[in-house]
Each structure stands twice: as C-alpha cells, then as structure tokens.
A and B are shown apart, each in its own frame.
Chain A
Amino acid sequence: MTRLKINGKQYTLNLEPDTPLLWALRDTVNLTGTKYGCGIQQCGACTVLIGKRPVRSCGITVGEVAGKDITTIEGLSPESRHPVQKAWIAEQVPQCGYCQSGQIMAAVSLLERKPNPTDKEIDRGMLNLCRCGTYTRVRKAIHRAAEMMKEVS
C-alpha cells in the first residue's frame, strides 16, 4: 500500500511503489487535470508541485513521493483564484488547453522562486512544451501574475 498526500488530503492506495505518480493521479485518484504528453519528462504536461518544487510526475514514482506534499492543478486554489490562474484568464492564454495545467504549475513554482522574473528567467524557468503556440501569452501572463502578487503583498 502507498500513502500519498495530494492537495492536502491523505490517500492510501493499492499501488506498486514504482508506479509513476502521473498515473496514480490520473487513473487511481481520478485527478485528470495533470496530463500525459510524452512519458520521458520532455514536455512538462505532467508537472505537479512536490512541496514547492515543480516535478514532472511521469518521471517520479509514488514510492519516492510517499508522505510528501503533492499539489496538482486541482489543488492550486478553490475557484481558480490563484493569481497565476487569474492572469492566465486575463491574458487569454489557453488554446486547446492540454498543456496548460503543467504550464500553470511551472509558472507558480517560478514565481515562488523569482517573484519578479525577467524575460530571461522566464525563458529558463518555463520549458514546458505547447504545440498550439501560446508561449507569447504565457510570458505576458507570468509578468501580469507577478504584478498582481506584488499588489497583494
């Protein structure tokens, strides 16, 4: 049995410890906001937060994250009121939306480390792939979220 703490809730799951966290989230716990894109940690669609760290959940096992704080897109904020989510809506970022959970989680983590990121820091911190080409808006939305978070604090 594996114990996972996801979005503040405890789960005891009948899973092999080498099961990738991504599939535990999607198929076992039915939190499908975290997506499968490539399975080799290249695309970032599966990004979640372990503590405050962004992690590509296709590349980490449930055994490795047992007992740690896992946050998925669903747990980011009730009613999607996290500044990053608000900025994403204001800048009209998503097109198909499939990569966006991962983009948002990566952006949340970037802003946690760098509350006022430069464009170069965004370049380095946002390596998630988007086939629809929303990158220019992702960049704008991160700047906007940074502004919003500055106003609050």
Chain B
Amino acid sequence: MRIVQLNRRDFLKSSILAGGGLVLGLSGFAKLTKAGADSSLPPYLYIAPDGGIHLGVPSAEMGQGIHTTLAMLLAEELEVEMSQIHHIETLHHPDFKHPTFREWTNSAINFQITGGSVSIRAWHLPFRKLGATARELLQAAAARKWDLPVAECRARNGRIEHSGTGRSLGYGELSVSASRLNPPENPPLKSPEQFRLLGRAIPRWDTRGKVKGTAVFGTDVDLPGMLYGTVKHCVVCGEKLTGVDDAKAKAVPGVIAIIPLEDQAVVVADSTWAAMQGAKELTLHTSGGHKDLSDENIIEQFRSDLAKTGVPVAHRGDPATAMAKAIRVMELEYESPMQAHAAMEPLCATASVTPEGCEVWAPTQSSDFAMMMAMGVTELSPEKIKVHTTYLGGGFGRKVEYDFITAPLVASKVLGKPVKITWTREEDTRHDFFRPPFLIHMQFGLDVHGMPLGLRTKLVGPAVSRRWQMPPPWLEENGYDWVVTIGMFDGYNLPNRTPDLSKAYAIPNLQVDFVPSDIQVPTGAWRSIGTSHNTFALESSLDEVSHAGGHDPFELRKKLLDHNPRALAVLDRSAELSGWGKAPDGRFQGMSYADYLETYQVQVVEVSVSKRGKITVHKITCVVDCGQVFNSHIAKQQLEGGILFGLTAALKGEINVQKGQIVQSNYDDYPMLKLKDTPEIIVHLIENHEPPGGLGEAGTPLIGPAVANAVFAATGKRVRRLPIKRNDLV
C-alpha cells in the first residue's frame, strides 16, 4: 500500500484542519496528487498542531475493540501513547475496501465491510505502515529544522529528539513542515521484540465514553429538526404490503405520517414513543406470503433432500472403498435450528435527504452497502452522499445487511426532514436474517483400532449467499455456499485456491457434500457462520467416534492432528489447564477443537446435570493460538463474549416458524444467558508471532459441542440438537 501526502488545502474547509497539520492517506490506487487534484477524499490520519491525533479507520466498532487495536498499531510505529489519540472514527473511504473479501471472492465482493473476523489480518500492516510513514516524515522535518542528520533524530513519546544536543520538538510543532515532505516508500517497521504497546493489555480507547453514557450509538443520533419513527413489517414470510388502515394510527398524538413500502409501513412521529404507539394502531393489508411454512415442514424438506446427491465441497482418498472396508460404520445425524442475532441495540438508522445531498448515520457493518441503499432511494450520485458509521450496540452479522437503511431514507426524502428510525425489539427479533437451520448427516467408517478410516458427510440447508446481490464465485462456479460449508473440511475452498486440507483432521478418506435446500425464511450471517452448525456436528460426532472406538477424546484429536504442531500445542495446553480427566465428583467434562481462519482453539467444559435434567456449567477452559496478539485484554474479551454467545444458543432459546410467522418476539420468549448462568471462564492465549488469525467469532462454535459432549459424559445421553432441552435428559 502506498502512502500519499494529501493536499491539505482542500481540507481547510473543515474546522479541524483550519490550523494546518500533517494529513496522510493510504492509497494503493490514488497516484501522488498534484496540488488541488483528487483531494476530496477525507484524510485518515491527521496530526493537529496541538499534537492530537485524529484517526479514521476502515472497521466499524461493534464491541470487538477494533478501533483501539488499529489505533495501537499506528501508535506503536508512530511512537505515541494512546492518550495522544484524540479522535477515532469509522471512516467511509474508497481506500478502505476490504482486501480479504476481495481476495476470497475474486473481487466480486469489493466493499468496505466489517465482519468475518478479518479486520486485523487485513489492516494490521497498513496501519503500522501509516504510523511508520508519519514517524519518518516527522523525523525528516525535525532534521531539516535543526539542520542535523536524520539518523540522529529519534521519535519518542510524541516528540522528535536529538540525542546529541538534547533538543526536541513535539509532533504538533512539526506537523505543518512534515506535511510538505514526500512520504517514504518503505518506512522501517519494528520487529516484535521492540513492541512497546502491541501484545499488551492496553485499556480500550472507547471505554470511557461507554461508561459515561456519552458514546453515540445508532439509536442516539440527534439532529436539529429531526423526526422519529419506527417500522411495522408484514408478519408472514414473503407477504407484500397492499395497503394500510391508518386512521387510528394517525390519531395517536404526535404521529405525523404513515409511509407504506413493499413489505413494511414506516410510522413517523415527533417522538419514538408516539411512533411505536402509532405502529400498534396500524392495520396492514397484505397479499401472498408462505402461510404453510413451519419448522416441521422445513425439517421434512431437509430429510427428503438428504437423499439428493449434493455438490462436492471436499474430497480426499476413496471414501466409498473405505466405508466398504470399515469394521464398523456409524450413521450420525445432527440438527441446528434458527437463531437470531438479538443485539442489544435494535436496528436503527438516521437519514437526512435533500435534493442537493444526503447524509446517513447508521450502526452499519458496511458503509458501502449503506451508500448503495442511499443511492438507490435518493438517486443522488455518491459524491453527494455521506455515510457516518456510529458505534454499533452489537452487530454479530445482522448489521451488514442494509434493509434497515431504507426506511429513514424514504421517510426523509418524503418529509423533507431528518428522520431517525428505531425498530422495536419485536420487529428486530422477527425480521432478522437468521442463522440458517441445518441438518447434517455424518457417516464414519472405523478401522480395527476404532480410528476413523473414512468420513462421508452431507450438509443440508439453505445457501445463504444466494440472496446476495453479488453472488460470490463459490456459489456461481462451484455450486456450494462457503458461508454455510466453512468449518466442515472446506479447507478454504475459495476461488484461486486449491482446497487446503493440510491442517485438518487426517481422516484419509473424506467426502463432504452440500445439498442446497432453500427455505422462505430470510437467513444470513450469524456469528461464526457455517462453523456454528458444522463444528457442532463434527465435534459431537468425533466424540461419539472416540467413545465407540475406546479413545479418549483428546487422544483421538491428537492422533488426527499429529501433523499440525500448533493444534497439538493447543490440545496439550488445554488438557493440562482444564484438569482433563480430573474433574471433581459429580462434574463431567467435554471438549471440542476447531481451526477457524487460522485460529487454533480448544474448549473444555465442566458440567453437572441434575436428576431433573438441569445443566449447570461450572467452568470453561479456552486455549487459543491466534498468532500474534495485539491487545490481550481485547483478545480475551472477544473469546469470553463469543463463548457466551454460543452458550446462549446451546442452553437457551431458538427461533421457530409456524404458519409462516416467526414465533419468538422479545427477550421473554427468546431468552438470553444471564450473569447468574455464567460459569468461570479461563482463557489462555498462546504467545507467538505467527500471522494473526481471527478472534471476533472464534469462541462461538466450540462451546455447543463441548457442552453436549460433557452432557453425554454426565448422562449417557447424546445431544443431537441445540439448545439442549431438559426433557431430553430426564
């Protein structure tokens, strides 16, 4: 990535930049510009005359701490303390299109997106380079000012110092002169031994605002003259809105307008409460809809589709012969129901549309998608549209969708005022893009030692990415959906790559097939995507294989991962740390392993189960090798959080559909884990300098099978579907 000096003249309109200062952008694409040309781009690193650093970053902050980590990466090379970072925001910028998604999809997906646990791998080097570039420029500026050799000028703690004479200048004093110099092509980057900040438990930058109540989420945007609103969707999946009876709604004090859209009505008022009361009084007339849709007929469809051949996802050796030669064949089936994202912040967005321009404020995981929606509704060109990304009160994959950006845009365009739309919890729960339901069949062939000689598995469920506007190449060319097959020996089966099973379980004969079985309920990316249902099936079935073959579950994994030293290290450490095999009386252990995007992980769970089937989770031990850790607090937070997210889906609720309607609506019928349900969680990070893996989702897929395996150890009953129901254990 090339660093370019952006023309600061064009930024003088902005009050922040009125005092001049060093302004840098990262550009792989923009050529070094002449004065005045192509400088409508906002800067993403600005060093103000007072030395304060203002940073624009590509990723949305949804709790994963990415604002802090990216700032740390910059601060490390720039030689500043975190206290010198005065401002961080998610910036919508053409240079911030996600390189990893671009690589994975042959550029079919070339957008600014936050998701998939790939922010760090995409941006850690560019942000270090950005910091190093600024450092070099500041050093050069000081050297010029003092007329001394650059080699004698050192950056330290926000100042450039000259060792010989004891002179020093602050970055703020140097920023204007630094802005006149040419950025170096390849500034030196530190080696890990030199890290001052990276790897440490540095406090998050956003904690203070979140503890004071001043952090601005999507729900909190406030503009002069702003109206408030909410939405009411048609209830049955696939229904369209044909009309509304709105007399009663309009009679609610404060209600200003009812605007019908294709599948929902927007209620606008002078307050959110009035809008929500108005929505209650609104009657929708609808047509169509899949009124016969139910959980029962979905699973029936999956069972029937199990007989279909399916599309190959992974293949190794000769599975048919292996099954024929096997001493014992095990046929195992697992089911995963739908789950909702249920972020604490319900869907919301704000738009201000005029004939001249449009501004959107949204807790979005993709400012590019928000931009596209704004272009569609307003018919304005992109230069006239500005997208602001607020903090997200949780995303988990829901806020990458752009459906919720529509209503405020339409309402503002129609009414000529800014409008903030807030969904009710009921609408948020019912009109989700749910984790897809899946049925997975595993056929294991065991040899005389009880080791798996062959595995044939069929994954039956919807192709989530078929809905995307830009169908990814894995779907178009190969016919399978990587979003739902990831985690079952997919080996990164992406375009331009041969599937790489070299780090996967060494089962010599293997066939994984995907049978796309589409349903009418909207489905989408739910934290850890396909790894969620696939790891449940794989790690539960390997537990069954262990017991059938007389192997300890850890020993089986170690034998199958003998070629993978990082996996072995994680297995050994977790067995030791969790006290595997030494659970106290009345407590039983279960484990699971996964490699999710080069993060190697084991979870061990200790449970007890009462005679009435009540499960108590006492302790969770999680050992992770995710390569280089940049902030150990944040890494642990993400693993703890991912674990509890997955534990909720293992023990609490699920999403059902009956008569074409989603049954659940709020936290009373879709319960969440509470503090009192939370066990002791021990997270151990293995330290190394390998390339960073992903952590945002990593904790989620392992906990379900680990709990299920522990429950088996406790009760002898095999769990084939999560969440676990008490009655199944009695």
Contact = CB atoms under 8 A, between A and B. Distances in A.
Interface of A: 16, 19-20, 23, 26-28, 30-40, 42-43, 45, 72-74, 80, 85, 88-89, 92-101, 104, 122-124, 126-139
Contact of A132 (B207, B276, B394): B394
A33 B207 contact: no
Contacts of A31: 213
A129 B220 CA distance: 20
Contacts of A100: 210-211
A80 B212 contact: yes
Nearest to B61: A96
B448 interface: no
B550 interface: no
Interface stretch (B149-157, B368-376, B673-681, B713-721): B673-681
Interface stretch (B490-498, B508-516, B634-642): B634-642
B65 interface: yes
B214 A96 contact: no
B348 to A, nearest CB: 9
Contacts of A97: 63, 206-207, 209-211, 215, 217, 391, 393
13 contacts: A20-B273, A26-B272, A36-B219, A45-B344, A80-B211, A88-B211, A95-B64, A95-B641, A96-B62, A97-B217, A98-B344, A132-B344, A133-B673
B644 A133 contact: yes
A29 B180 CA distance: 47
A136 B680 CA distance: 7
Contacts of B680: 136
B413 to A, nearest CB: 22
Contacts of A45: 344
A38 B666 contact: yes
B207 A135 contact: no
A112 to B, nearest CB: 18
B315 interface: no
A118 B643 CA distance: 24
Nearest to A100: B210
B675 A33 contact: no
Contacts of A32: 213, 216, 219-220, 222
Contact of A129 (B201, B228, B667): B667
A126 B677 CA distance: 11
A95 B637 contact: yes
Nearest to B683: A136
A133 B211 contact: no
Given A27-B273, A40-B667, A99-B344, A94 B210 contact: yes
A2 B687 CA distance: 59
Nearest to A74: B213
Contacts of B705: none
Given A85-B211, A97-B209, 18 more contacts: A26-B219, A33-B212, A35-B217, A35-B219, A37-B344, A92-B637, A93-B207, A94-B207, A95-B638, A96-B393, A97-B210, A99-B344, A100-B210, A131-B672, A133-B641, A135-B673, A135-B675, A139-B678
Contacts of A85: 211-212
Q: B201, B215, B668, B673: which has the most chain A beta carbons within 10 Å?
A: B215
Contact of B675 (A23, A40, A138): A138
A139 B674 CA distance: 12
Contacts of B222: 30, 32
Contacts of B62: 96
A98 to B, nearest CB: 3
B346 interface: yes
Contact of B207 (A34, A42, A88, A127): A88
B342 interface: yes
A27 to B, nearest CB: 5
Contacts of B344: 35, 37, 43, 45, 96, 98-99, 129-132
Contacts of A36: 219, 272, 346, 422
B228 A27 contact: yes
Interface string B59-93: 00011110000000000000000000000000000
Contact of A135 (B206, B208, B396, B678): B678
A99 B213 CA distance: 10
Contact of B668 (A20, A42, A74, A139): A42
Given A42-B668, A89-B207, A131-B344, A37 B675 contact: no
Given A42-B666, A97-B63, A73 B212 contact: yes
B467 to A, nearest CB: 24
A104 B211 contact: yes
Contacts of B681: 136
B599 to A, nearest CB: 18
Contacts of B668: 40, 42
Contacts of B343: 96, 98, 131
A96 B633 contact: no
Contact of A43 (B392, B667, B675): B667
B392 A72 contact: no
Contact of B394 (A98, A104, A126): A98
Contacts of A128: 675
B345 interface: yes
B204 interface: yes
A104 B217 CA distance: 17
Contact of A23 (B272, B645, B666): B272
Contacts of B633: 92
Contacts of B672: 43, 129, 131
Nearest to B678: A135
Contacts of B206: 94, 97
Q: A34, A36, A98, A139: which has the most chain B beta carbons within 10 Å?
A: A98
A146 B532 CA distance: 39
B364 to A, nearest CB: 14
B203 interface: yes
B253 interface: yes
